[in-house]
Structure 1
């Protein structure tokens, strides 16, 4: 080969390599995350303090559709700073289908069933996705988790895999992206009139038995008052109490199935002695005039009015509701004339236990989203906004210098902004006026521990730490991977069965039915309504499919 030919070949090789480099540098400029853009993001992430917190920003404007639950306490506004902040950070505009919160569940079902659901379907609690799985209307999002580094990191680092596994369906996949918490933040517990307890030298109860003793003393001192009158039709009360008795109840009543880990099998808990013991306890409080029987039927407002006017001294509450009650009591009793304390959850016969509740409402992705040419960018957008610390900070706190500032490394609302009474002198509201800290985009105490604690008062932070240091969290029950026909059969059994259980629970607690005389008949009725068939079906499916859970 001549020297000239060699020179020519060398020259052509250099040209080919140069063009290849040029093309690699240009990439596809219609992609929201081009090769060069992605590499820059990855390089930035590698050099950052959080190497896994990959930022997403499209190099061209994108629009995704989203179902939005409109909260009456902070109604939607088109000019909220939230929308601009999201677009500035990601170059994404959200086209919203806005539905009042009161109609959200029904409207969501109609939209999904008709194939008209937006791409991003928010405010979906684990379990609510199940009716839409068999139709193929929503994506098995577990197929795409490898494209969601922030979600994957949180699940791994926070030890959430068992909880994620509990979301799996018959095909071994899961269909909802839940909201994630690094730490448990128990929100529902009893509030007491601490000033009344202190005045009468009554110790703050730490168990259900100690609560009974405290209520008896209050009844002796205030014979014309029923000391405990509850709200939420007793559903929060039974939901919190049930695990300490070894069962489920209230909002967490479920299908009637309870997983017994020592036997590795499910049983129908409403017919057990443990459930009977729980009903006996609350029935005793009612019989002795310590617990208002109206607790299970009255409206929330009626229950709250009794507490804020001094006609009761104990009520179920949560972080936000206790602040609302204090505001009302400033008017009814006067500032400085009362003291309200949210006490630690109470221990029961099974000890100081509660379920691990670090999954919350999250997102479904419509199956048609996969047809969007920008589907990979949609996944990156969701992953960043809902699961990166930067995205969670944006949706919770807003824009630095406008809604918040950092003072000595700590978040602080700007002087003119208020939220949850963190800055009472603020004239603008973080939710109502700016759109941040809304339930569609962020969880009150979700995300990383530091971010969750950033919105807490010292009182709430201390309370959370004390509960986490005192209580044992129960591992989740494994999922039962029903196929469509099995699930339909289970629902046909469980729904009328649990309607009956709910009716009899109320009757047993309030004394309309006698636990001593009517319990055996109740258990037989449960059997006749299918409790044994439900138990057998559940265990048969569980044992034949549990290998898919790993």
Structure 2
């Protein structure tokens, strides 16, 4: 992204900032996704002089409790008063009180808190929440605080990453985006029992049609099996697979950016002919007995049990799960191996997939507009984007949990990591839970693969399987970086929210009818027509107009 473009962007979209604040960067997004140091990812090599916590002056003169609500992943239980929380209190006088809500219930709980304007001091949101509710007055607007110089650490990331302006709504920023640190690239991908392919002399599938043929053969060899299992229902199945099958789908807002349509544009997936092919493919898999008949209701726990008990042989989801599944399965089957495949072709010569976002995941942290002394909360969150705070919130206490290597980068202490060598579900999740750290906690500048790799190598869980996995994913040219949605104005955001509620209410009742064969695939044309009449075309126009406006 050019400096010239960045300067125009600052003036047209975020004029409340100092002129030229984005002009300083030229390719910040690209630099920040290379897996380099924290400095490369936004220049936060240390807290500026006016960062109170880093300079020895505490953010609050007296102890203040800060209530934080965020989602709790079952792999990483959250506990209050962790080592990190204790140290944050010591350094800042801000006592973080976590209210972690199970991921399965988080969306409903979050919407209730927003709708009733009964927010905690800080709440975890996603990009859709910002579009839906950013202009309603429930979240604290941030750009004036940045202009006043109260967000120096965060502003370094803002200046270095022009794409961050896409987090704004109607020209305003309502939340701090979570930013990844030194993130390796991976994403949704097809994972299969390669040991069974070798055992039965089955070639690795190069196309999605070949995949069904291979899974059908495994079903024939193992009649009681459910070859392709999924977790968390139909929405997850479509979200993980539709793009690779030539269409696209996102949970909650099925709009997606398709690089292969008219040079790149937004498409409402379920209202496109290509989506009909997706449903047809899953209908075929269902009729063949390849797709788990319980796919619509299968939980993550049930999914894991099927994969690690030898009941299922394939999944298309977060491909990194295959490494953990292999270790669990090898407790009973010594040579069992789940490994990711290169992305199969959905049509001759066409294969595609998205990496997970390696800088901005879509997770954000907003401050309640009703919070007392909001400047303290601003300073607290800004401090968390400094490298010392990031070291603390991802590695714990220096000297106790980690040391700095010759490059000044944190490295866990082996004696600390050794405590989790046999922990479940994985040593790194157990360590994260103990510290209260990293991506799945309240960590605005977080690590994921950076810390995971260290723990796996120190506990002896890194082997040739890991090397092969990261090599396959990293060299697969089918993967591309995801495109962050453009910022919407207040009217657009409100209309998108209204249309999505109407469309999703109708569409969510239709998908399974076609996958399970209750309705014939040709009948989906009527669903497409109905979706268009109900606003799918209007939604596409809103997003594509917003994209064109941003480019100007």
TM-score (norm 2): 0.73
Q: 1:473 aligns with which of 465, 474, 480?
A: 480
Segments of 5+ residues of structure 1 without an aligned counterpart are 1-44
Deviations 1:510-537 (A, max 9, x none): 222111x423333333345x14xx4236
Quickly say closer, same or farther: Cα 1:419–1:525, change in 2 above 3 A. Answer: farther
Task: Give runs of aligned pairs for residues 67-82 of structure 1, distance below 5 A.
Answer: 67-69=68-70, 71=72, 76-82=78-84
Match of 1:503 in 2: 509
Quickly say closer, same or farther: Cα 1:420–1:498, change in 2 above 3 A. Answer: farther
What secondary structure does 1:244 align onto?
Answer: coil
Distance 1:74 1:544 in 2: 37
Q: 2:394 aligns with which of 396, 400, 405?
A: 396
- CA apart distance, 1:398: 0.9
- CA apart distance, 1:363: 0.7
Match of 1:522 in 2: 527
Distance 1:50 1:272 in 2: 43
- CA apart distance, 1:401: 2.9
Q: 1:512 aligns with which of 518, 530, 535?
A: 518
Match of 1:174 in 2: 173
Deviations 1:153-176 (A, max 9, x none): 33554xx423x233232x222322
Whether the aligned pair in 1 keeps the contact of 2:151 and 2:378 (CA below 8 Å) is: yes
Whether the aligned pair in 2 keeps the contact of 1:172 and 1:549 (CA below 8 Å) is: no
Task: Give runs of aligned pairs for residues 43-442 of structure 1, distance below 5 A.
Answer: 53-54=47-48, 56-57=53-54, 58-60=56-58, 62=60, 63=64, 65-69=66-70, 71=72, 76-88=78-90, 90-96=91-97, 98-101=99-102, 104-121=106-123, 123-145=124-146, 147-157=150-160, 160-162=161-163, 164-169=164-169, 171-181=170-180, 183=183, 185-249=185-249, 251-252=250-251, 254-256=253-255, 262=262, 266-318=266-318, 321-322=321-322, 325-326=325-326, 328-329=328-329, 334=332, 336-349=334-347, 350-354=350-354, 357-358=357-358, 359-360=360-361, 361-369=363-371, 372=373, 375=375, 377-385=376-384, 387-405=385-403, 411-417=411-417, 421=421, 429-437=430-438, 439-442=440-443
Whether the aligned pair in 2 keeps the contact of 1:188 and 1:236 (CA below 8 Å) is: no
Distance 2:446 2:78 in 1: 22
Whether the aligned pair in 1 keeps the contact of 2:208 and 2:345 (CA below 8 Å) is: yes
More helix per residue: 1
Quickly say closer, same or farther: Cα 1:188–1:215, change in 2 above 3 A. Answer: same
Quickly say closer, same or farther: Cα 1:398–1:460, change in 2 above 3 A. Answer: farther
Distance 1:87 1:93 in 2: 5
TM-score (norm 1): 0.74
Distance 2:430 2:532 in 1: 54
What secondary structure does 1:127 align onto?
Answer: helix
Deviations 1:302-321 (A, max 9, x none): 33333323222112454774
Bigger Cα Rg: 1
- CA apart distance, 1:257: 6.3
Quickly say closer, same or farther: Cα 1:364–1:477, change in 2 above 3 A. Answer: closer
Quickly say closer, same or farther: Cα 1:282–1:99, change in 2 above 3 A. Answer: closer
Quickly say closer, same or farther: Cα 1:301–1:152, change in 2 above 3 A. Answer: same
What secondary structure does 1:415 align onto?
Answer: helix
What secondary structure does 2:364 align onto?
Answer: strand
Whether the aligned pair in 1 keeps the contact of 2:192 and 2:315 (CA below 8 Å) is: yes
Distance 2:80 2:299 in 1: 34
Quickly say closer, same or farther: Cα 1:109–1:496, change in 2 above 3 A. Answer: closer
Whether the aligned pair in 1 keeps the contact of 2:486 and 2:547 (CA below 8 Å) is: no
Quickly say closer, same or farther: Cα 1:193–1:227, change in 2 above 3 A. Answer: same
Aligned-residue RMSD, C-alpha: 4.0
Whether the aligned pair in 1 keeps the contact of 2:193 and 2:336 (CA below 8 Å) is: yes
Distance 2:414 2:440 in 1: 21
Segments of 5+ residues of structure 2 without an aligned counterpart are 1-38
Distance 2:543 2:153 in 1: 33
Deviations 1:100-146 (A, max 9, x none): 3365444444545555533332x322222334323312122244445
Match of 1:26 in 2: none
Greater RCO (Cα-Cα under 8 Å, separation 6 or more): 2
